[in-house]
Structure 1
Amino acid sequence: MSESEAPAPGGEVLLGPAEIRDLAGRLGVRPTKQWGQNFVIDKGTVRRIVRAAEVGADDVVLEVGPGLGSLTLALLPHVRHVTAVEIDPALATQLPLTVEEMAPELANRLTVLHTDALRVTELPEPQPTALVANLPYNVAVPVVLHLLATVPTLRSVLVMVQLEVAERLAAGPGSKVYGVPSVKAAWYAEVSSAGRIGRNVFWPAPNVDSGLVRMVRRDPPPTDATREEVFAVVDAAFAQRRKTLRAALSGWAGGGAAAEEILRAAEVDPRARGEVLTVEDFARIAAARPR
């Protein structure tokens, strides 16, 4: 590793409440609901996120929604590079300037892309190994699933999301909140809760608490079905989650009798409901459907 890639020596330079509000005021930036903006103003929280992410000197971090740079500045001293994806043009323009002003020795470790994370299909070198982000509440699940699907080099994920979303992502079969996000996330990774975050660490403070979710990439279940075919079964099973799988999958299978035949071939009880199935179960159901 070259000298420029090694973690920066010395102390950290982070944004606190006063700096965040001053910077926003100078830019004329007001957090918008449209882009789900809630800026982190607590230094302890961004330190906690970096620790929970378990990233190190060889990691290239993909950060979505860096905002005014609170988490970015906390990450840069510890990793090889940060690629930040920001949809707000004013914030995308300002972020490199903030880093240049507050931590000039780290400026060469930052790349900022002004784009929508849901439209990302290719990323510049170096390719990211970890996704670490305070995600906008309104697009958190689609962003995580999209990036896991399109960025195969991602080995780990640590995201802060709305607490309810965090609980759904980390839920296992049989849980009341287990559903489509739980199963689809499990296709890509081992998913676990990494703690709860209070609402007062944000500006403006949201109406709910947040949660940290950690994901460690793993191979998807072995199956002859494609990811799209498996996810179609998942969507159908939870579209009517109170119904048995025989009933819920009848439209997908071409009738109740066909659904029952497929389920029995996959060794899944037709009377069961989707909320008790693992991602491996869904993969077997998709593979059992006649081609």
Structure 2
Amino acid sequence: MARLLTSGDIKSLSRGLQITPTKKWGQNFVVDANTVRRIAAAAKLDGEDVVMEVGPGLGSLTLALIEIARRVIAVEIDPKLALALPTTVAHRAPEEHERLTVVETDAARIKPEQMPEPPTALVANLPYNVAVPVVLHALEQFPSLRKGLVMVQAEVGDRLTAGPGSKIYGAPSVKMAWYAKARRAGSVSPNVFWPVPNVASGLVAFERIESPKANRVEVFGAVDAAFGQRRKMLRQSLKTWAGDRAEAVLDRAGIEPTRRGESLDIAEFIALADAKEAEGETAPRPQEA
């Protein structure tokens, strides 16, 4: 069994590597072993899972994940941390360290060809400033991801799991619903981090759903337009997406033009995308000169 890192271990490793947690990369290292065990257990991994861990840092969570999963692929943007992680894991988990692969890159831009094999689960303590784009990018790029558990800023977790009609329901909520069923899976005290953040943290669990049979680009275009001007009625906000055809698209989709984006669920945004494509097919062709 791996020897997990304590608060003292984390600070000692940081000093040895001459690393200071930076706001640039949103680095807040988990220093509580019980929290790490809790996250690993809540992820519901099995011995066949290939885990994509984003931002492993000094290896707190990595050590817990590597005990369970068949393989952990740690995606780290910080060159010093990427270089040091294999040594830390080899020292503290000698029987499991060969299950670790480190990929030094930006998780918000990673492509499938950069991964040694397709991941089946995303488990990570995500930097607060990039949590939403990282999760959505991973779900888009890796259809193999079946499930995940991510630790994010509490407000971000609320946005990712919010339903229609809520003040915090927005583009991240709808886009997450395109890919997966997401739920809040608990809260995390700021005191388990070093340095201690000035915001609360929470866990978000998700399970992949079957991809909707619709044009994702168009659906997300409608989502961005609706929430880009969320105080405006759809007949106005959707003009940036559908132009002068906005009201015709709404009519074809059976959606009242006086509604606002925050009242629509993912199925209604899909209906809008389908209606726009249908309107395009039936629009009169410009006469040739």
Work out whether the TM-score is over 0.5: yes
In structure 1, the gaps of 5 or more residues are 1-10
Question: Partner letter of residue 214 of structure 1?
Answer: A
Distance 1:252 1:63 in 2: 35
Provide the residue aligned with 1:201 in structure 2: 192
Q: Is the 8 A contact 1:179 1:275 kept in 2?
A: yes
Q: Does residue 35 of the first structure (1) align with residue 22 of the second (2)? A: no
TM-score normalised to structure 2 length: 0.94
> Retained in 2: the 8 A contact 1:221–1:279?
no
Letter paired with 1:116: D
Q: Is the 2:108–2:137 Cα contact (8 Å) retained in structure 1?
A: yes
Residue in structure 2 matched with residue 52 of structure 1 by the alignment: 42
Q: CA RMSD in A?
A: 1.0
CA distance in 2, matches of 1:222, 1:137: 32
Separation in 2 of the partners of 1:137 and 1:83? 20
| CA distance in structure 1 between the partners assigned to 2:69 and 2:154 by the alignment | 27
Which amino acid letter does the alignment assign opposite residue 132 of structure 1? Answer: V
Structure 2 residue corresponding to 1:231, chosen from 213, 220, 236: 220
8 Å Cα contact 1:173/1:278 also seen in 2: yes
Superposed, which structure 2 residues align to 1:1-80 within 5 Å? 11-80=1-70
Tell me the CA shift for residue 119 of structure 1.
2.0
| Shift in Å, 1:221 | 2.6
- Report the Cα distance in structure 2 between the residues aligned to 1:157 and 1:267, rounded to whole angstroms: 35
Q: What's the % identity of the aligned pairs?
A: 57
Pairs within 5 Å for 1:1-291: 11-122=1-112, 123-223=114-214, 226-255=215-244, 258-289=245-276, 290-291=279-280
Q: Which amino acid aligns with 2:242?
A: A
The list of structure 1 runs, each at least 4 consecutive aligned residues, that deviate by more than 6 angstroms after superposition, is none
TM-score, normalising length: structure 1: 0.93
1:238 maps to amino acid: F
One-letter code of the match for 1:199?
Answer: P
2 CA distance for matches of 1:115 and 1:141?
17
**Matched residues in 2 for 1:279 and 1:99: separation?**
42
Q: Is the 1:134–1:161 Cα contact (8 Å) retained in structure 2?
A: yes
8 Å contact from structure 2 (residues 157, 202) kept in 1: yes
Instruction: Give the partner amino acid of 1:191.
Output: A
Specify the SS of the correspondent of 1:119.
coil
Question: How far did 1:220 drift?
Answer: 2.7
- Mapped to 2, the partners of 1:29 and 1:125 lie a distance apart of 28
Q: Distance in 1 between matches of 2:148 and 2:87?
A: 27
5+ unaligned residues in a row in structure 2: which ranges?
A: 281-289
Instruction: Output one character per residue of 1:223-262: Cα deviation in whole Å (capped at 9) or x when no partner.
Output: 3xx211110000000011111111111232223xx21211
Name the aligned partner's letter for residue 193 of structure 2.
F
Q: Which residue of the partner structure matches residue 283 of structure 2?
A: none
Work out the CA distance in 2 between the residues paired with 1:174 and 1:107.
47
* 2:103–2:115 contact (8 Å) kept in structure 1: no
Q: Distance in 2 between matches of 1:135 and 1:216?
A: 18
Letter paired with 2:71: H
Contact 2:2/2:92 (8 A) holds in 1: no
Quick one: distance in 2 between partners of 1:14 and 1:270? 56
The corresponding residue for 1:7 is none
